[in-house]
Chain A
């Protein structure tokens, strides 16, 4: 029985935590919010220098050739620091899609540049205010030309390329599209978390290359979502833990009626509930990490369980952290709102909690892995 990260992986996590602290921590998140930036450029440059965008890229394409577990520990620290960088869209989604479904030629052209940062990727799915399905997909490809609009696409301004889920002749397809083109129009969309940027991306006969096989695009898309769900769940766990730690520290420092508010059972039980939620989420994420790294057939169930559990934990911890801070928690000055907003964006970015619960129960109906 070894449901734990290796010493090397823990060391990497520790280094990542120190790195984000040293580079300014939440101050970077605030700067991006306050100055309406798309991301923290200096921080992103340093992440590229560390080689983290190439963690999963095989050595033959200039990457580090490491596994998903290394990515999980970095994700947890990104979540804890609320790092305002396009790491998740480029690494968990775009890079994984290229590694898994790109032709040899695409891999040769794209992967080494993802390591250097010359290419930054994103992943475009949503089209309107409802969960997309195979039959509602409207953005379409004809020949190799993509036409249609995607919304809520993360980091599209900085990104040079996108994987786009489109309707093809034989069903959904994943398509690789270059974004710096006159056939692509990108416009910023306001969102609840100003430390992350989302865009509308309109394609007008934009040139594209097929990823994977024609007709199996939906399965490929679902697989990429499942993988990313585990990685984002680690971000959510990192954020949950940090929100709990903040609430705890405040409950120790703040006095009311002549004593620390953390000595009241109302606060203790609130924080204990947060601890329970984080612990369950973390354990579910370890299961997700195992399924992801071992390419288990349990991934759909493990991913949905990690995702739902981590979504619940982060949303609970973020809102109760504000509550514990009282009026201060509602100010711009205190950091509570940064976690509240990130928890909401992370609860939606791969589809809502309800849609993942639906996936979870569908997977439960097919498998029976408990006990």
Chain B
């Protein structure tokens, strides 16, 4: 057991470092990272950085050469990610496109389409989003209702999508819609990609729990009114929409990982610094008990990741252990946020006039979203139970019914 790179990995890491050193600045430890509040500036900076990476071959390491990649191994991607995260570079607004839309296009689009769309996606010239969830279809996303009706060589789309990250600045989107409500739920779906500038598309940012529409990763409602999509932009066969969507969702669940924000180290620093009940919080047994629990969770996740990397490093398929990451980290984030706020006692609810929300307050307010996005805690537990442990699926009230006959509440 060791945490060392193999000689090949060390060589690759050195190459990453060398390029990053020449093109970016290391993060200044201790300095708070400035989050760009102006959306246009954020997009502009992110595009410049992505283009730089693309030109040098770092943008989409694992993609084939013809679309801008270098056929890198999974462990090389991880090494690149580890190194890049040490530098003060713009946050990515391309993750959904590159992580979910790209793979679907690669698998289902025509050769001509791949050549047209994949390189600009990798280069950061065109941004993509994913149009799946609907007001009445969240965890049960196959219950979506947006309609597609064939009209000659085109499809006419009507309906509403929701929780679409980045729709307001995206150029293209992948879309799953219902082409036939007389078929069973999963069988009546068809998959497309769509130009987000098409007539009939309206994007409305969602005002979130925070009271704002969020920053770069903000969510939107997307309305479709008689939007026309050429049949050539269908991905997969008519009726194969669910199969295509599942490929994307599996990629999403891998992509949504560790919840970022106030962590156990921050809770420890607070407890070492702050008095409560007439003594330092760190001397309080109840505080120590919580710190121990959070450390066990955080450390357990850290080394779970290392186990996955070890498997990848040996060229083996990783086990299912990474499936616990989001459940554990989002709940921990919520608890740590709560702890930090409560440490202020009666005044814990106050927001600082100059600095704004503390990291604990931000964690507490953001964590409920993380426990839902990319699969709720409950759905993820079902997935662990069914796919990892092999327990049977729930009997379904909608099984075998034509979609239009499935009971639906509000």
Contacts and interface: CB of A to CB of B under 8 A. Distances in A.
Interface in A332-371: 354, 357-358, 360-361, 364-365, 368, 370-371
B306 A3 contact: yes
A265 B385 CA distance: 9
B299 A370 contact: yes
B200 to A, nearest CB: 40
A262 B385 CA distance: 9
Nearest to A293: B1
Contact of B394 (A263, A271, A283): A263
Contact of B307 (A3, A248, A305): A3
A260 B268 CA distance: 45
A268 B379 CA distance: 11
A269 B303 CA distance: 23
Nearest to B386: A268
Given A262-B391, A272-B381, A364-B268, A312 B296 contact: yes
A69 interface: yes
Contact of A276 (B288, B314, B324): B324
Contact of B3 (A1, A269, A357): A1
A260 B391 CA distance: 9
Range class of the B interface residue count = 35 or more
Contact of B395 (A1, A259, A269, A354): A259
B8 interface: no
A33 to B, nearest CB: 29
A64 B378 CA distance: 48
Interface string A278-304: 011111101101100110000000001
Interface in A68-118: 69
Contact of A294 (B1, B306, B392): B1
A68 B5 CA distance: 23
B1 A365 contact: no
Interface string B302-314: 1110110111011
Given A1-B310, A279-B324, A294-B2, A269 B297 contact: no
Given A3-B307, A69-B1, A365-B272, A283 B385 contact: no
For chain B, what secondary structure do more than half of its interface residues adopt (helix, strand, loop), or is it mixed? helix
Contact of B299 (A282, A294, A305): A305
Interface in B312-346: 313-314, 321, 324, 327-328
Contact of A279 (B9, B75, B300, B302): B300
A370 B1 contact: no
A308 interface: yes
Contacts of A354: 289
Contact of B295 (A263, A264, A305): A305
B1 A5 contact: yes
A275 B295 contact: no
Range class of the A interface residue count = 35 or more
Given A262-B391, A280-B300, A371 B265 contact: yes
Given A265-B378, A370-B264, A2 B292 contact: no
B388 A275 contact: yes
A358 B394 CA distance: 43
A365 B2 CA distance: 25
Given A286-B307, A308-B296, A275 B389 contact: yes
A273 interface: yes
A358 B296 CA distance: 13
Nearest to B391: A262
A210 to B, nearest CB: 34
B327 A358 contact: no
Contacts of B89: none
The winner among B75, B382, B390, B392 for most chain A CB atoms within 10 A is B392
Contact of B304 (A265, A280, A370, A371): A280
B381 A269 contact: yes
B384 to A, nearest CB: 4
A279 B272 contact: no
A1 to B, nearest CB: 5
A315 to B, nearest CB: 13
The winner among B1, B2, B3 for most chain A CB atoms within 10 A is B1
B1 A3 contact: yes
A227 to B, nearest CB: 16
Contacts of B328: 276, 280
A69 B327 CA distance: 30
A316 to B, nearest CB: 12
A174 interface: no
A3 B298 contact: no
B148 interface: no
Contacts of B307: 3-4, 283, 286
Contacts of A69: 1
A312 B293 CA distance: 10
Contacts of A283: 299-304, 306-307, 321
B224 to A, nearest CB: 33
B34 interface: no
The winner among A69, A248, A309 for most chain B CB atoms within 10 A is A309
Nearest to B265: A370
Nearest to A286: B303
Contacts of A265: 378, 381-382, 394
Contacts of B196: none
Given A271-B389, A309-B300, A3 B3 contact: yes
Interface string B265-279: 100100010000000
B291 interface: yes
Interface in B228-265: 263-265
A368 B282 CA distance: 15
Nearest to A263: B392
B265 A251 contact: no
B393 interface: yes
The winner among B306, B313, B381, B389 for most chain A CB atoms within 10 A is B389
B300 A263 contact: no
Contacts of A5: 1
B4 interface: yes
A275 B306 contact: no
Contacts of A263: 391-395
A305 B297 CA distance: 9
Nearest to B3: A1
Contacts of B291: 361, 364
Closest 8 CB pairs of A and B: A280-B300, A268-B385, A272-B381, A357-B292, A283-B303, A262-B391, A272-B384, A283-B304
Given A1-B75, A357-B288, A365-B282, 16 more contacts: A1-B9, A259-B395, A260-B392, A262-B385, A268-B386, A269-B381, A271-B391, A272-B389, A275-B384, A283-B302, A286-B303, A308-B293, A357-B292, A361-B282, A368-B265, A370-B295
Interface of A: 1-5, 69, 244, 248, 251-252, 259-260, 262-265, 267-269, 271-273, 275-276, 279-284, 286-287, 289-290, 293-294, 304-305, 308-309, 312, 354, 357-358, 360-361, 364-365, 368, 370-371
7 contacts: A4-B310, A262-B391, A272-B382, A275-B385, A275-B389, A283-B299, A368-B268
